[in-house]
Structure 1
Amino acid sequence: MSSLPWFSDNKFPLYLAPMAGVTDVVFRSICKELGADVMVTEFVSAEGIIRQDDRTRKYTEFTDGQRPCGVQLFGGDGERMGEAAKKIIDWKQPDFIDINFGCPVNKVVAKNGGSSLLKCCDSLASVASGVAKAVGDQVPVTAKIRIGWDEKNINAPEVCRILQEEGMQAISIHGRTRAQGYRGEANWDVIDACAREVSVPVVGNGDICSGEDVKLRRETTAVSGVMIGRAAMQNPWVFREAKHYLTTGEHPEPVAVTERWKMIIRHCSMAMESDRYGNERQTIMAMRSRLMTYCKGFPGAKPLRQRLCTVSSLQEVKDVAAEYLQELCEA
């Protein structure tokens, strides 16, 4: 049985998936307010932690209001990963340490991190064991994987057995292979098979966009929770909407465009206050891709996104919002 209390009493937690460059401390705060149950930081390099690199350390920051929150590590050396995990626990005492065995990005895979370890179960076991032994009973250790390297090498059930044996107390599974990246559909049959293979909680990830999706996976698979990633980027209200649907069986009223704009402006303001990206210009420029994602599906989204890709101040964002809402009223 897992020592992670958010799985107790038949709870079915909704995780915010860790996404590099997206799930920073500000966005996690927003999603927590809107109903996300469990947070995981953006992944951080074990080597960066050991070198006490200030930029790397920033990625481990979270607020007490975001708990339960885990810090996600990547790397290919179990001993070094364990050392990094201990440093993080000394700094911040997260609710758990999560090991990234799923990232498909080339620069991570090239360093024998992320999903590259799915190709070598001995190395994967060594990393999992190294972290679990180093951490001991200070905090639980969990892992995130993909279903395999490619369609010919779908080995998630075997990987889950190994991870359980090496002390992982929960496993999150993205239902695509490394070769797929984010294309095609997530394979929930494999996720379900993994959940039935091990006794620790399995959290399913992939194509969860609504309360209906959450209900379907809760009722038709053996997972103990779900993880929502890309859908939350466009619609952080998805957590609140899903809980409403699970409770009432009804979809809530869609979030009004005016409320969405208030959130967009608030997100920009919070990002500036966080000092994560630098000065106002640097922050708003870093936020451009996020702003364009928020506006997917808006009426007249294409010209709107073209305007947002050039903003460099908070006032410009406010001006775009005001002009857009005025145009919408007049249409």
Structure 2
Amino acid sequence: MLSWFENDAFPLYLAPMAGVTDVVFRQICKELGADVMVTEFVSAEGIMQADERTRKYTEFTDEQRPVGVQLFGADGVRMGEAARKVVEWKRPDFIDINFGCPVNKVVSKNGGSSLLKDCPLLESVARGVAEACEGVVPVTAKIRIGWDEKTINAVDVSRRLEDCGMQAIAIHGRTRSQGYGGEACWETIDACARAVTVPVIGNGDISCGEDVARRQRETAVSGVMIGRAAMQNPWVFQEAKHFLRTGNALPGVPLEERWQLVMRHCRLAAESRRYGTERHAIMAMRARLMAYCKGFPGAKELRQRLAKVESVAQVEEIAEWSMSHPAGEVA
């Protein structure tokens, strides 16, 4: 068993999200209680070509462990070779295979959730990576419950993945065709968890500690994965742990503390090597900033201002304005 599931632990994963869960955001979420990290997905072909830009997506710090590097691709042999390269470079705690991404540019290359339509190919990829990493690092996988509502096959896929050597399976409770709309089907996630002996991590519509406690209580999952809720509220991990421990919700995070974290995130992003200049880093942060500020007093005007920021100083100026003109509590 993976060490983070031992002694009846119920780990909280930060879901891998392209353009979001970079090394800086993972650091923040780890500090706020996330147990297990997974990098943004990385192209196996990019790894094989030693593309420097691709390698940046595999960066992590020791403080973030346990951390896995997530790969996508459709060739089991090449995926296995790429996984071994990543292990040699970075020594992650595990390799994760992306069988769930719904994005067209990934699906069109026969990657991500497209493999849910081709189970023999999915098995070939999973087995290729598992064999390449055998005795070196464990391999896990992430899937969706199916391609569309007519082809929900997550239970069958989970069994196949276990047979191929996957040591844990994360399941997003939506089909590829749903994208991020509608509700996640936790009944299917639960059925998968009961169909296999490896840990299943449930993902979808987890936004607070009560949600985590409910899924732990009502399903057979061994942990949960939190994605979009953490973009707005990275405190969700510490809130969830408090709820699991006490049965009570923490009070909301004060506006000033939220802004302090936002500004720290901006400074860390500007200091990181990933984005180049401060201007590029802050421009890349714009969507993140608007997610952070969802529910803030005066959110509409905030979004208009944040959509134009180009420096840390501008973000700090907006934060000072926001904190000096609070129009009520944060929603």
Unaligned runs of 5+ in 1: none
User: Counterpart in 2 of 1:51?
Assistant: 49
Question: For residues 69-120 of structure 1, what are the alpha-carbon distances to aligned partners after superposition, in whole Å with 9 as ceiling and x for unaligned?
Answer: 0000000000000000000000011000000000000010010100000000
Within the alignment, does 1:141 sit opposite 2:139 as a pair?
yes
Which residue of 275, 278, 287 corresponds with 2:276?
278
Tell me by how many angstroms 1:121 deviates: 0.3
Within the alignment, does 1:160 sit opposite 2:158 as a pair?
yes
1:1-331 aligned within 5 A: 2=1, 4-328=2-326
Question: For residues 264-296 of structure 1, what are the alpha-carbon distances to aligned partners after superposition, in whole Å with 9 as ceiling and x for unaligned?
Answer: 000000001112111011111000000000000
Distance 1:330-1:228 versus aligned 2 partners, 3 A rule: closer
Q: For 1:224, give the aligned amino acid.
A: S
Tell me by how many angstroms 1:64 deviates: 0.2
User: 2-side partners of 1:92 and 1:103: how far apart?
Assistant: 23
Q: For 1:246, give the aligned amino acid.
A: L
Distance 1:315-1:156 versus aligned 2 partners, 3 A rule: same
Q: For 2:277, give the aligned amino acid.
A: N
Superposition CA RMSD, Å: 1.0
Tell me by how many angstroms 1:135 deviates: 1.0
Tell me by how many angstroms 1:56 deviates: 0.2
Q: For 2:73, give the aligned amino acid.
A: G
User: 1-side partners of 2:295 and 2:205: how far apart?
Assistant: 17
User: 1-side partners of 2:26 and 2:255: how far apart?
Assistant: 21
Q: For 2:38, give the aligned amino acid.
A: V
User: 2-side partners of 1:216 and 1:171: how far apart?
Assistant: 20
Tell me by how many angstroms 1:330 deviates: 10
User: 2-side partners of 1:281 and 1:62: how far apart?
Assistant: 23
User: 2-side partners of 1:329 and 1:96: how far apart?
Assistant: 46
Task: Please report the TM-score for the alignment, with normalisation by the length of structure 1.
Answer: 0.98
User: 2-side partners of 1:23 and 1:189: how far apart?
Assistant: 28
User: 2-side partners of 1:299 and 1:184: how far apart?
Assistant: 27
User: 1-side partners of 2:133 and 2:12: how far apart?
Assistant: 25
User: 1-side partners of 2:275 and 2:179: how far apart?
Assistant: 27
Tell me by how many angstroms 1:137 deviates: 1.1
User: 1-side partners of 2:227 and 2:9: how far apart?
Assistant: 20
**Corresponding residue SS for 2:170:** strand
Tell me by how many angstroms 1:194 deviates: 0.2
Q: For 2:206, give the aligned amino acid.
A: I
Task: Please report the TM-score for the alignment, with normalisation by the length of structure 2.
Answer: 0.98
8 Å contact kept, 2:297–2:328? no
User: 2-side partners of 1:107 and 1:326: how far apart?
Assistant: 43
Tell me by how many angstroms 1:142 deviates: 0.2
Q: For 2:174, give the aligned amino acid.
A: R
Q: For 1:259, give the aligned amino acid.
A: E
**Corresponding residue SS for 2:326:** helix
**Corresponding residue SS for 2:101:** coil
User: 2-side partners of 1:73 and 1:96: how far apart?
Assistant: 11
**Corresponding residue SS for 2:171:** strand
Tell me by how many angstroms 1:325 deviates: 1.1
**Corresponding residue SS for 2:287:** helix
User: 2-side partners of 1:177 and 1:9: how far apart?
Assistant: 32
State the identity as a percent: 70
Tell me by how many angstroms 1:152 deviates: 0.1
User: 2-side partners of 1:267 and 1:186: how far apart?
Assistant: 30
Distance 1:77-1:54 versus aligned 2 partners, 3 A rule: same
* Number of residue pairs matched by the alignment: 329
User: 2-side partners of 1:330 and 1:87: how far apart?
Assistant: 52
User: 2-side partners of 1:201 and 1:251: how far apart?
Assistant: 27
**Corresponding residue SS for 2:193:** helix
